[in-house]
């Protein structure tokens, strides 16, 4: 009987260890969210303010990418590269583009690249830090404050795992940022020679579907990592701060995120027809796109449709005549276009007196 009891207890203990192992991690703070809906799937001390090392550069890179001038050139000065730590190898006198700096920030985590971008955009590190904080406020990052563009330790420089996850989700919506964050390596030309830059993010090579985002380390912050991965239409973001085993922890956290996200189809209801003025048809039929959205719990999708009261012809099948925004938990997670499904032929000049009367009638009719 004792042997049976011991065996039973061992089985129970083993099962418990397996269950805990899926979420057990070494991080001081951790979080997993659905990148599109920004809903929390798992969290651990996610709202505790901590140093974040070079994950800071997510914000620096986002602001650089939002300049939307990838080929703009910068002549590097001594002030720009007067910073310690990781580097993309810049020297005073080098000429680099904003695009070069974006790769230098996100791949080798160049502090010189971050400082150069900050001064090129704002004129000084201090003014750029204010720009970072303004953007943080705009994005609703309530527990974040930036002092440096590089992430080197500084008083008053902090964030939370939750804020970092939200920041990463916004950054991944920028196409330039998204492309560079997912790049494993690249060869660029600056400083009179070719430079090979490798991404410090091992997840890009070791985790299926990995698309970014950023590593970080200082003695104060410890090992920090923001990772993201995509499977189908579902994207998951994981963040750990001060985690000595971040690579393995992120593989488990991302797995857990995918396992606990349910993909549903967003299919908004739109009016069947739209009035069409000045053509051979009084109305055109409407169709809308559908998209799969991964949810992590009981969230529901809400829709807000934007269509004109009427439209002037001619119209071709496939023309976009409106759109529907998809929301969950207060966040806009997708915009779906509304298409015309048939052609119309122009039969008379638009903006005639009759058309104007018809327009007024439709506006009154839709207001009833």
In sequence order, the β-bridge partners of residue 230 are 235
Q: Which of 86, 109, 150, 227 is catalytic?
A: 109
First to last CA, the chain: 80
Q: Which of 57, 86, 214, 227 is catalytic?
A: 57
Cβ(50)–Cβ(29) below 8 Å: yes
Tell me the DSSP string of 42-59. Answer: EEESTTS-B--GGGGHHH
- Pairing verdict, β 310-312 and 262-266: unpaired
- Whether residue 232 is preceded by a cis peptide bond, meaning omega within 30 degrees of 0, is no
CA 268 to chain centre: 24
d(CA 66, CA 122): 13
Judge whether 304 counts as a catalytic residue: no
Judge whether 317 counts as a catalytic residue: no
Q: Which of 29, 44, 54, 261 is catalytic?
A: 54
Cβ(313)–Cβ(346) below 8 Å: yes
d(CA 180, CA 106): 7
Sequence-distant (6+) residues with CB within 8 A of 153 are 51, 53, 218, 219, 220, 221
Judge whether 220 counts as a catalytic residue: no
> Which segments of the chain does DSSP mark as H helices, in order?
2-21, 57-66, 98-106, 111-122, 125-138, 161-171, 175-181, 203-206, 246-259, 353-367
Active site residues: 54, 57, 109
């Amino acid at each position: 009987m004792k042997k049976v009891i011991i065996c039973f207890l061992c089985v129970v203990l083993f099962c418990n260890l397996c269950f805990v192992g899926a979420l057990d991690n070494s991080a001081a703070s951790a979080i997993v969210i659905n990148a599109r809906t920004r809903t929390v799937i798992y969290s651990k001390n996610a709202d505790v303010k901590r140093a974040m090392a070079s994950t800071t550069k997510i914000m620096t890179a986002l602001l650089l990418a939002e300049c939307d001038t990838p080929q703009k050139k910068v002549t590097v000065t001594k002030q720009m590269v007067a910073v310690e730590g990781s580097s993309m190898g810049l020297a005073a006198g080098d000429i680099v583009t904003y695009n070069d700096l974006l790769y230098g920030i996100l791949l080798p985590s160049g502090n010189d690249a971050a400082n150069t971008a900050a001064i090129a955009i704002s004129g000084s590190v201090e003014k750029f830090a204010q720009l970072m904080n303004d953007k943080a406020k705009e994005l609703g990052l309530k527990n974040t404050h930036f002092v440096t563009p590089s992430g080197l330790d500084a008083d008053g420089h902090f964030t939370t795992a939750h804020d970092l996850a939200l920041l990463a989700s916004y950054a991944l919506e920028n196409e330039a940022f998204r492309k560079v964050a997912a790049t494993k390596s690249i060869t660029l030309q600056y400083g009179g020679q070719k430079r090979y830059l490798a991404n410090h993010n091992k997840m890009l090579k070791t985790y299926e579907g990995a698309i970014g985002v950023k590593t970080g380390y200082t003695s104060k912050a410890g090992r920090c990592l923001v990772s993201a991965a995509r499977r189908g239409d579902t994207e998951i973001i994981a963040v750990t701060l001060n985690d000595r085993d971040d690579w393995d922890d992120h593989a488990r956290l991302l797995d857990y995120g995918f396992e606990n996200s349910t993909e549903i189809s967003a299919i908004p209801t739109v009016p069947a027809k739209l009035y069409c003025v000045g053509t051979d048809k009084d109305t055109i039929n409407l169709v809308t796109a559908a998209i799969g959205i991964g949810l992590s719990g009981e969230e529901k999708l809400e829709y807000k449709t934007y269509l004109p009261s009427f439209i002037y012809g001619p119209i071709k099948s496939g023309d976009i005549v409106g759109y529907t925004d998809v929301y969950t938990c207060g966040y806009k997670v997708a915009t779906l276009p509304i298409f015309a499904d048939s052609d119309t032929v122009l039969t008379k000049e638009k903006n005639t007196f009759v058309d104007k009367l018809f327009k007024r009638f439709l506006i009154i009719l839709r207001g009833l």
